[in-house]
Structure 1
Amino acid sequence: MADNAQVLSDIADIVNDITGVDQAEVTAEKSFTDDLDVDSLSMVEIVYACEEKFGVEIPDDKSKDLKTVQDAIDFVTANQG
């Protein structure tokens, strides 16, 4: 099971792949939309990539609750394995 730092690193890679935002910019307290300029379409791609990467299912009603990078980290760590 991945720790928070590893999950953050993996999410940073995913955000970088999809949006081009530098991994160093992707920190736990950042908001996907306000701080990282992730639009709704890119967010769908990020959620899908996280599901693939971490082997978790993120239902639509939960994905809209993922406002910050920390929200995504918490969801992944709580729902893995």
Structure 2
Amino acid sequence: MNDIADRCIDIIAKSKGIPASTITLASTFDELNIDSLDKINISFEVEEAFNIEIPDEALSTLRTVGDMIEGVTKLRTAVPSATITTP
């Protein structure tokens, strides 16, 4: 996996208190017991980690971990590299 995927999976794992090794790109949010409030909290952490802004309407379209990683990748590509900060 790439850095974006690893970081997103780590955020989800910490949020839900589960091992990152149990999360795959195909894992659905339902399988991971991620409800709408969890999605919002995870999205805040992802936004902060990648210095991006996830549109509210995009949250409702996310069904899998892979969907989220794809969205983050697209948003990072759209942001000029000068404004991207990585820890």
- TM-score band, normalised by shorter chain: 0.7 to 0.9
Q: Distance in 1 between matches of 2:61 and 2:51?
A: 19
Task: Point out the structure with max Rg over C-alpha.
Answer: 2
Structure 1 counterpart of 2:64, from 59, 65, 68 = 68
| Unaligned 5+ runs, structure 1 | none
Tell whether the 8 Å contact from 1:8 to 1:27 is kept in structure 2 after alignment: no
| Unaligned 5+ runs, structure 2 | 80-87
Higher relative contact order (CA 8 A, sep 6+): 1
CA RMSD in angstroms comes to 1.2
Partner of residue 40, structure 2: 44
Q: Distance in 2 between matches of 1:8 and 1:35?
A: 18
Q: Distance in 1 between matches of 2:75 and 2:37?
A: 23
Tell whether the 8 Å contact from 1:30 to 1:36 is kept in structure 2 after alignment: yes
User: What do residues 5-60 of structure 1 show as CA deviations (whole Å, max 9, x unaligned)?
Assistant: 2111101111122111210111101111x211112211111011111111111111
Q: Distance in 2 between matches of 1:51 and 1:76?
A: 9
Taking structure 2 as the reference length, the TM-score comes to 0.80
- Identity level (%): 32
